Every structure is written in C-alpha cells, then in structure tokens.
A and B are shown apart, each in its own frame.
Chain A
Amino acid sequence: MIFNKTHLTAICGIIIIFCVGLVFFFSFAEPYGDGLERTMEEGGVEEREPAYSAPLDYGDNYFTALLMGIIGFVLVLFILLFLTKIMRKKDETRND
C-alpha cells in the first residue's frame, strides 16, 4: 500500500483546508489580479489569444472551482505517483 493512514489523513486535511480556503478566496480576493497581471495592466499590455486551448478552466464560482481543485488534486497526485514509481522501477531494474 502506497498510502498509509497518515497520508490519507493528510489528503483529507488538504481537501478540507481547500474547501474553507476557497470561501475566503471568493469573499476577499477573487476580483483581484495577481502581481504579474497587475504589472501587465500598468504596462498597458492585454492578454493575447492563447497558443493552446486547455480543456478545462478553474471556473468563476465556488462549486466549479472546488470541483476543478479536486480534479487537479487527484491528477497531480496520481501523475506524480506514476512518474516516481517508474523512476523506482528503472532503478530496481538497474540494480538487479
């Protein structure tokens, strides 16, 4: 088993903190751009058409952002587990 009880508790904890954190985000920070976006505004630069259109976006309401956050969380978790497992496997094969 890759995840023990501590890891599963950590995963639940992160998702709960995310659910609460998103409430604060939509209450206090949602309309504001980040440091780079503000620099672009002050430099009079507008965002151009992206070279690649992604299939999803974070959404502009609480529930979409929550859903996207959970999808992203699971994707990152499993892609990284997969990548690191491949690395370990290669290493074990080399040591054999």
Chain B
Amino acid sequence: MHIPDGLMEPIIWGIGWIIALVFVALASRILNKRIHEKQIPLMAVLAAGIFVAQMINFPIGGGTSGHLIGAALAAMLLGPYAGLIVITTILIIQCLIFGDGGITALGLNIVNMGIIGCFVGWGVHKIFPEKYRTFGIFLGSWTAVFIGAFICALELAISFSLSNGAFGIPAHIAVPTMLGYHAIIGIGEGIITMGIISYLSHTSPDILKMPKITIRTSKEVAVE
C-alpha cells in the first residue's frame, strides 16, 4: 500500500505531510519522556524484522499479492507511540534508500500505514477482554489494514475530484477495489500478527509484559 509519487493531488499529499509531522512529533515527545532502556533493543529488532517481512508478498488470489504492514503488531508489542516511530523509520528508509513509496507521498504513507495502523490496531485489540485477546489481536490487525485502505481510497477519490481527473482514481473504482483486496490482505495480516504474538507469549512472555507507551502514560506525564 505504498503510494508512489504523482498519484495524489498536491493538496492531499501536503495535508498528509502536516498530519504525519504532527503525530510523529507528538510520538517522539512522548517517547522521549517514557521510553524504557529495555524497550530499545526490542524496538530495533522488531523494526528490522517488520522491514524484511514487508518485502515478502503473499499471493491472495486473482493475480494480486499482499504483505504484512506490521503497524498493529508494533503497536500491540510496544504501544502506539513507539509503534508509530518504528513504522515511520521503516517507511523513511524504504522511500529514501529503496525507492519504495514516493517522497511526496511519504506523509500519506505514514498516515495510512503508521498512524492508522498503530492507533486503530492498538485501540481495537484493547477493547477485548483478556479471555478474547487472541481474537482481538486478529481483529485489530485486520481493521488496521482495512481502515488504512479505506482512507487511502478516499485520498484517491478526493484527489480525482479536486484535480478533475489529473490525479487519483474515481471513487466508484478506488473504494470497492481497495476495500475488496485489503479485506483479504487484512486476513493475512491478522493471522501473521496473531501467530507472532502467540509465539512470543509462549517463548518470551516477558516481552508481552513490558510496559507499553500508551495514551494513559502520556496523561500521567502531563499530571507529573
């Protein structure tokens, strides 16, 4: 779901940059105050692992493939703010070093995959009580991909309308096609995320018990 250069109307990618900068600055500020020494190697290893996982596309049928985004996974293991920094770092390296995703669209890619992926994935999985946590992990990951794809489809549709067809894709094609493919890709994301977290809960339960940098802790900082 890496948006290339020249696909979106400049106003849309400009707004994407502003939203991304605000969220990344906020996440860095919170992380600055709350990051724990023990989280640093986990963050780095997880980010590197997600980077290589994103390179492996799996076929989903109909001549289409999908790959892990990993934002929900990072958010569930580290908290949404640290997760956002992990995904942002990956997206910047993919864009600047490997040309995966356009530089003008980097802000939108951070919004669709990083911000939505981390906060939606984290939020949905937290709704579920401990008893249904595994299902919550699956649904959180699936929803993160699906909502990210929906927002991307809206960006394509608005770009098309604003530019009279010079950029973007009409809504009647963008919305159903993006949602159709990503509803299936999200299942892959959910299964992989569920598998990794359940593997970690058996082999390294201490990782799952590590303190997460969450919205609540940011309020605690404000109270302090």
Chain A bound to chain B:
yes
Chain A residues with CB under 8 Å of chain B are: 2-4, 6-7, 10-11, 14-15, 18, 21-22, 24-25, 28-36, 38-40, 42-43, 45, 47-58, 65, 68-69, 72-81, 83-85, 87-88, 90-91
Chain B residues with CB under 8 Å of chain A are: 1-7, 28, 31-33, 35, 37, 39-45, 47-49, 51-53, 55-59, 62-67, 85-86, 89-90, 93-100, 102-104, 149, 152-153, 156, 169-170, 173-174, 177-178, 181-182, 185, 204
A57 and B66 within 8 A (CB): no
Quick one: closest A residue to B184, CB to CB?
Answer: A35
- A51-B104, A73-B51 are known contacts. Are A34 and B1 too (CB-CB below 8 A)? yes
Residues on the A chain within 8 Å of B65, using CB: 29, 32-34
Quick one: closest A residue to B52, CB to CB?
Answer: A18
Interface centre among A48, A72, A77, A84 (most CB of B within 10 A): A84
A80 and B43 within 8 A (CB): yes
Which one, A54, A77, A85, contacts B98 given CB within 8 A?
A54
Residues on the B chain within 8 Å of A7, using CB: 41-42, 45
